[in-house]
Chains A and B, each alone.
Chain A
Amino acid sequence: MRKYIVLVIFLVCSVVFASGCVTNKSTNTTQTYAQDNISFTYPGSWEVVNATSQNAIVAVANPNSVQNGTPTTLVVIQKTDIPAGSDINTIYNSNYATFFNNTNYQRISDGNITVNGQNAPENVYETNTTVNPIQYSAVWLNESGSIYVILSAAPASNFNNETMNFNLILNSFKVQST
């Protein structure tokens, strides 16, 4: 009888400890990016990818969303300086006045959100395609005299499901003062 009790305890302990070693990265774990004077937390199943766009500092993407060699669920962080005598709203308005001359995109909404207590303009738009349009959300932050744009993208049909991951990055984004 005593042997059975010991065996049961052994099995229970084995199951408990084994379960502690199993990780579900997509829901529980996160990773932290801390380079180029910025830092943020992003989902554990995502990867840092090669950002080739203008003024891009870094991009992270869900490798499971790759279509035709390009991820569709991603976040790109871009930086641009504020010229003397200008401000973030002026540059923002000027940017999108030009941006939507490109008929590949159509505006969905344009407003302001609060990020870490800071008012930040946000522009939401999507690709002007009938098949699998990609929705974008660009949040503009004024940090240390520069503009940091956090551009989040996902298929329009799945954008709301990725909001939690986008907010994880947005709310943890910090600029390290030099």
Chain B
Amino acid sequence: MAVDRVKKLQGKEVTEQSKEYLSDKKKADADILEKDALIQKYVTNPPEKPVAQTGSSGLSKGKIGLLIFVVLAFFVGTGYGVYVMSIPANNSSGSTIDVNASAFPTVNNTTANQTVNQTNTASTTTVVTTPTTTTTVTPITKKTTTTGGTTGNSTKQNNGTTG
């Protein structure tokens, strides 16, 4: 555009292309104007509602401080309560109190000294000896009386009885 104007001022010819460009631009401008006119004619904006003005800041410094205090107190109290409740569980171990109660009978672990009385039975062996009486009969020698020319020997042997 600026180039075309300079050329015009210098007396030079403006190309057809530039003229077309100008006519197109005029058309575009006309369309825009037409659209704006239609919009203004048919499109209406809703009436602006008056914005309710909120009170200035609303909370005073005192109220804000109180609110902060309540919130802090809530968390501090809750935390302390949880801490206190967890303490007994940790301290429950290591008690020195002994408990010996039992549901079962008490078993004595001590070994009873069992005295075994061994009775030494005196074995009496009775040996029955049968007395043997031996009677020895010694032969009695009798005098021999010789009568006549006869000589005779007479011997008696008595066998002993075994009783």
8 Å CB contact of A49 from B62, B76, B98, B103: B98
Q: For the complex, is B3 an interface residue (Cβ under 8 Å from A)?
A: no
Cβ–Cβ contact B105 & A95, under 8 A: yes
Q: Nearest Cβ distance between residue B109 and chain A, in whole angstroms? A: 10
Q: For the complex, is B74 an interface residue (Cβ under 8 Å from A)?
A: yes
**A51 to chain B: which residues have CB within 8 Å?**
99
How many residues of chain A get a CB closer than 8 Å to chain B's CBs? 48
Known: A6-B66, A31-B88. A17 touches B73 (CB 8 A): yes
Find the B residue at minimum CB distance from A49: B97
Find the A residue at minimum CB distance from B62: A6
Cβ–Cβ contact A44 & B98, under 8 A: no
Q: For the complex, is A52 an interface residue (Cβ under 8 Å from B)?
A: yes
Q: For the complex, is B101 an interface residue (Cβ under 8 Å from A)?
A: yes
Roughly how many angstroms separate A6 CA and B105 CA in the complex, as a whole number?
Answer: 69
Roughly how many angstroms separate A47 CA and B93 CA in the complex, as a whole number?
Answer: 8
Q: For the complex, is A177 an interface residue (Cβ under 8 Å from B)?
A: no
Question: C-beta contact mask, B73-99 vs A, less than 8 Å → 1, else 0?
Answer: 110110011001100110011011111
Q: Nearest Cβ distance between residue A22 and chain B, in whole angstroms? A: 9
B76, B81, B88, B104: residue with the most chain A Cβ atoms closer than 10 Å: B104
Find the B residue at minimum CB distance from A25: B88
Per the 8 Å Cβ criterion, residues 6-60 of A in contact with B are 6, 9-10, 13-14, 17, 20-21, 23, 25, 29, 31-32, 44, 47-56, 59
Known: A6-B66, A29-B85, A54-B104. A70 touches B99 (CB 8 A): yes
Cβ–Cβ contact B103 & A52, under 8 A: no
**B66 to chain A: which residues have CB within 8 Å?**
6, 9-10
Roughly how many angstroms separate A68 CA and B70 CA in the complex, as a whole number?
Answer: 50
* Closest 10 pairs (CB-CB, A-B): A53-B102, A49-B97, A138-B103, A59-B99, A149-B103, A17-B77, A48-B92, A151-B103, A98-B105, A49-B95
Q: A51-B99, A59-B99 are in contact. List 20 more A-B contacts (CB 8 A).
A: A6-B66, A10-B69, A13-B69, A13-B70, A17-B73, A21-B80, A21-B84, A47-B92, A48-B93, A49-B98, A50-B95, A54-B104, A55-B102, A70-B97, A70-B100, A76-B102, A78-B102, A99-B103, A99-B104, A123-B103
Q: 10 A-B residue contacts at CB 8 Å?
A: A13-B70, A13-B73, A49-B99, A54-B106, A56-B102, A69-B97, A70-B99, A71-B99, A78-B102, A140-B103
